[in-house]
Amino acid sequence: MASNTKEAAVDMSPFFILYKDGSINRLRPDVNAPLCDDPQAPVRSKDVVIQTETGVSARLFLPKITEPNRKLPVVIYIHGGAFCIGSPRSIVFHNFIRTLVEKANFIAVSVDYRLAPEHPFSATYEDSWAAFQWVISHVNGKGSDSWLNDHADFTKIFVGGESAGGNITNDVAVRAGVANLDSSIKIIGIFLVHPYFGTENDLLYKALNPTIADKYSEDPRINPFIDPRLKSMACKKVLFFVAENDPLKKGAMDYYEGLKKSEWKGEVDIMETKGEGHCFHFFNPMSEKAVAIVDKLVGFLKQGY
């Protein structure tokens, strides 16, 4: 009798398994965080649709407004999950951003991009770029969202994310550098937490890009140094976070070291956590080392003041 067992291309248990037939088994159901619309709460949140045709959306976070005329920095956050899992509604991402918003006092836009493999690998990048464009469309106070119209300072934008989201963040910043943005729109910095920039014999990239599986080193999103736009990347500062036991550490370190030597003229900083693995701060957010990551990020984001 023939077996119905499918062959795994990438096994990332206990999170998901990608199969060679292009299907996926997400092993953990998302635990979603509720919204908060209490004006007296430290942080309010709401979901908005950005593109009806693609379904791209975002979860917005607004700190308690004590000075109505004061404009706040904007953070565009792009979650991780190996391009295949997660959303801004996921409790780990929701709580992480809500904590940062409360501590650093900014407006956050957490992007809900389409996931692979049901959608093309490139959709994660296109959707995040669309979200960035949607955010800056509010620069004249005439966008579709009142929180951004009324409270956002577009001269103080940050973009950031972890894992796959860190990689997508970098792509947004590179694109923005050649997009002829209005002079009233400025990206102060980006933060890359345990970012994905490929691995040796990259099985994830190959599974999600079967037609170009052997050319991952030629993809400028994975290997930014081959991208001629890198020198124009639209931010002044890049903050890297790496973990000692993270298999993605080498790719992040290579990019960190190379960026310092590149034609891009901004500032680079890095924080390494010893004895920890990939995105450990989500699994034990109250640990001393996880709190240290939050504190470092809060300091970085407060440069918007």
Catalytic residue among 90, 163, 171, 281: 163
User: For residue 127, which of 93, 88, 101 has the smallest C-alpha distance?
Assistant: 88
What are 146's two structure tokens? 């009142």
Following DSSP, what letter does each residue of 74-135 receive, concatenated?
EEEEE--STTTS--TTBHHHHHHHHHHHHHH--EEEEEEPPPTTTS-HHHHHHHHHHHHHHH
Q: What angle do CA 272, 101, 147 make, to 5 degrees?
A: 140
- Contact between 95 and 33 under an 8 Å Cβ cutoff? The reply is yes
Is the omega angle on the peptide bond into residue 117 within 30 degrees of 0, that is, cis?
Answer: yes
- What's the CA gap between 113 and 130, in Å, rounded? 9
Indicate which residue of 87, 138, 246, 281 is catalytic: 246
287 catalytic residue (yes or no): no
The structure tokens listed for 260 are 């310092």
CA torsion angle 19 24 27 30 (round to 10): 160
Q: What helix, strand, coil percent values describe the chain, rounded to 5? A: 35, 25, 40
Decide if 214 is catalytic. no
Give yes or no: 281 in active site. Answer: no
Catalytic residue among 94, 151, 194, 278: 278
CA 200 – CA 203 distance, rounded (Å): 8
Please tell me what DSSP assigns to residue 1: -
Are the C-beta atoms of residues 304 and 156 closer than 8 Å to each other? yes
Burial of 140 from C-beta contacts in 10 A (0-12 / 13-18 / 19+)? exposed
Which of 74-102 are b and which e, b meaning 16 or more Cβ less than 10 Å from the residue's Cβ?
Answer: bbbbbbbbbbbbbbbbbebbbebbbbbbb
Active-site residue numbers? 163, 246, 278
